[in-house]
Amino acid sequence: MLSTALVWLRNDLRLQDNPALAAACGQAEHVVALYIHETDESLRPIGAAGRWWLDRSLEDMGAALAGIGIALRVETGSAEAVLAKAIEATGASALHWNRRYGPAERSVDAGIKTRFSAAGIATQSHPGNVLVEPWLIQTGQNRPYSVFTPFWKTLKGTEIPRPVGKPEGPSIAQPKGHNHTPPSWALKIAHYWEVGEQAAQARLTDFLAEVVRDYPEGRDFPAKTLTSKLSPHLRFGEISARQIWHAAQAFAHVHPEQAGAVDKFLSELAWRDFSYHQLYHRDDIANVPMHDKFAELGWRHAPKHLQAWQRGQTGFPIIDAGMRELWETGYMHNRVRMLVASFLSKNLLIDWRQGERWFWDCLVDADAANNPASWQWVAGCGLDAAPYFRIFNPVTQGERFDARGDYVRAWVPELSGLPDKFIHQPFAAPSSVLANAGVTLGTTYPKPMVDLKTTRQQALDAYSALGTAS
């Protein structure tokens, strides 16, 4: 038996199905958990909304760990230096963590593994954050996948490891506090979320029992709550993808009539693994377009347009509703994420990286793999990307997916008096209709900031100027 083991927590703030924690508890008499607010310059700092969530999640995890007799230390600094100090202070002879997949993070982890292994500390990494490790899924030619459908087929045919149980846990010291504060604007997000492992499990249980049956048809309608909203819990590892996978499979076994709906849900969950596949195999996906030719695209420098988009003041109601939902709650419905990303990168021809950064700061689920991969997908430069000529029209999309305007009315209340017919295009309404609804364009609500038809054509021209080389 080892005496003390250190568990370095990162994106895995849960007791159950936490292989690093389980391994440490299985091996050592004493276990100490450590979370580090890492300051290494190579790492992307977490966004503001994420910091709010993380803060809560660490509190929750600290209490849960204390319940099994494990102290959680929260420190700030370079991971290597903090770990070295913690090892010295605790006399730990083993160090465990669950893997992360970004190139910069892997490089930090590899350096730490080399250093501490050489110093005689048993350093072990574990698989815990994705369904299948990114290097275990490959094409018949032993290459990474670049198209989702065959990736999904292969993933489905792969045995997804079963979740490991919650450790009993031995321990020493008391939990320590930490001085990590999110910005004040992020605090409003608290009204919309329950943070932590138990909340994540409850959300999954409720989703399977009440919602999944309607998921395939309902998931595209932003006014309905027919998706799981598990994304921030997954982001911080309060629940694991494989816990979701196995719980959903078990549910489908008992309710075979819902197996098709569960399969659709799991295929969306597999998109997350596909994003991690890209994060792992590609170079810096938050900055480098996956199709080289997009490096040449003549993006517009348009700070005023960018700001209007960020503030939900574009004059296109569904875009504004989405951007305001994001600002208020730290979340945006997937269909609307696609619309606002298309509007920014195509109608406004603003570099998708600007949008990705805004999302990174505002989303509670801002994820190093899903966020850049999805932005690249919409902008047309990602793997398996939406073709560049697919430019969403915010008016017709609004009419299709928010036909009664409920979503727009919820987030853009100054338009709520408009009849359904004009709720997605107030600029087309006769002046009497606008007057009846108390809307004065340019005063109570912006005029449309661009012409959809002209900007669509400009985007097509800019994109087709890139040629066909990839």
**Binding site members for FAD:** 215, 227-231, 265, 365-367
Task: Tell whether residue 200 is a contact of ligand FAD (CB under 6 A).
Answer: no
Q: Which residues contact 436 (CB under 8 A, 6 or more apart)?
A: 417
Of 80, 299, 399, 414, which is the active-site residue? 299
Q: Which of 80, 133, 268, 328 is catalytic?
A: 268
Asked if 242 contacts 161 with a C-beta cutoff of 8 angstroms, the reply is yes
* Adjacent-strand bridge partners of 95: 6, 123
Q: Which residues contact 77 (CB under 8 A, 6 or more apart)?
A: 36, 37, 38, 39
Bind-site residues: 215, 227-231, 265, 365-367
Alpha-carbon dihedral sign for residues 385, 388, 394, 396: negative
Which range binds ligand FAD by CB under 6 A, 60-68, 300-308, 361-369, 381-389? 361-369
CB 34 within 8 A of CB 42: no
Contact between 378 and ligand FAD (CB under 6 A)?
yes
What is the pattern of x (binds ligand FAD, CB under 6 A) and - over residues 146-185? ----------------------------------------
d(CA 86, CA 443) in angstroms, rounded, equals 58
Stretch of residues binding ligand FAD (CB under 6 A), selected from 107-115, 149-157, 189-197, 270-278: 270-278
Shortest distance, position 190 Cβ to ligand FAD, whole Å = 19
Is 327 annotated as catalytic?
A: no
User: Any catalytic annotation for residue 29?
Assistant: no
Question: What length is written for the chain?
Answer: 470
Please pick, among 52, 358, 375, 377, the residue that the annotation labels catalytic: 375
* Residue 341 is a binding residue for ligand FAD (CB under 6 A): yes
Q: How far is the CB of 147 from ligand FAD (least distance, A)?
A: 15
**Separation CA 347–CA 395 (nearest Å):** 13
Q: Look up residue 103 and give its two tokens.
A: 């190139």
Q: Find the shortest distance in angstroms from Cβ 340 to ligand FAD.
A: 7
User: Site for ligand FAD (CB under 6 A): how many residues?
Assistant: 27
The 223-262 site mask, x for binding ligand FAD (CB under 6 A), equals ----xxxxx--xx---------------------------
Q: What is the DSSP string of 420-451?
A: HHHHT-GGGS-HHHHHHTT--BTTTBPPPSS-
In whole angstroms, give the CA distance from residue 175 to residue 67: 11
Residues 6+ positions from 70 with CB-CB distance below 8 Å: 25, 31, 32, 33, 169, 170, 171
Q: How far is the CB of 197 from ligand FAD (least distance, A)?
A: 16
Among 28, 189, 269, 318, binds ligand FAD (CB under 6 A): 269
Site string for ligand FAD, 301-340 (x = CB under 6 A): ---------------------------------x--xx--
Instruction: Decide: 260 and 216 in contact? Cβ < 8 Å.
Output: yes
Q: List phi, psi (to 5°) of 141.
A: -95, 20
In single-letter form, the type of residue at position 438 comes to: G
From 35, 245, 271, 316, residue interacting with ligand FAD (rule: CB under 6 A): 271
Candidates 80-88, 298-306, 370-378, 448-456; binding stretch for ligand FAD (CB under 6 A): 370-378
- Binding region for ligand FAD (CB under 6 A) out of 92-100, 189-197, 372-380, 414-422: 372-380
Instruction: Establish if 346 lies at the interface with ligand FAD (CB under 6 A).
Output: no
Per-residue exposure over 347-377, b if at least 16 CB sit within 10 Å of its own CB, e if not: bbbbbbbbbbbbbbbbbbbbbbbbbbbbbbb
Eight-class DSSP state of 209: I
Nearer to ligand FAD, 309 or 375 (CB): 375
DSSP state letters, 377-391:
HHHT-STTPPPTT--
> Which of 108, 110, 99 lies closest to 42 in space, CA to CA?
108
Point out which residues pair with 124 in neighbouring strands.
96
Stretch that binds ligand FAD, among 98-106, 267-275, 400-408, 413-421 (CB under 6 A): 267-275
Phi and psi of 175, rounded to 5°? -60, 145
CB of 428 to ligand FAD, least distance (A): 27
Integer distance in angstroms from the first to the last C-alpha of the chain? 55
Q: Is the dihedral of CA 240, 243, 247, 249 positive or negative?
A: positive
Stretch that binds ligand FAD, among 47-55, 142-150, 365-373, 413-421 (CB under 6 A): 365-373
* Catalytic residue flag (residue 334): yes
Measured in whole angstroms, how far is the alpha carbon of residue 200 from the centre of its chain? 15
344 near ligand FAD, judged by CB under 6 A = no
Q: Is 365 in the site for ligand FAD (CB under 6 A)?
A: yes
Residue 219 found at the interface with ligand FAD (CB under 6 A): yes
Q: Which of 271, 327, 358, 360 is catalytic?
A: 271
Q: Which of residues 11-50 bind ligand FAD (CB under 6 A)?
A: none
Give least dist CB 152 to ligand FAD, A: 12
Q: Which residues contact ligand FAD (rule: CB under 6 A)?
A: 219, 227-231, 234-235, 268-269, 271-272, 275, 334, 337-338, 341, 359, 363, 365-367, 370-371, 374-375, 378
Catalytic residue numbers read 268, 271, 299, 334, 352, 375
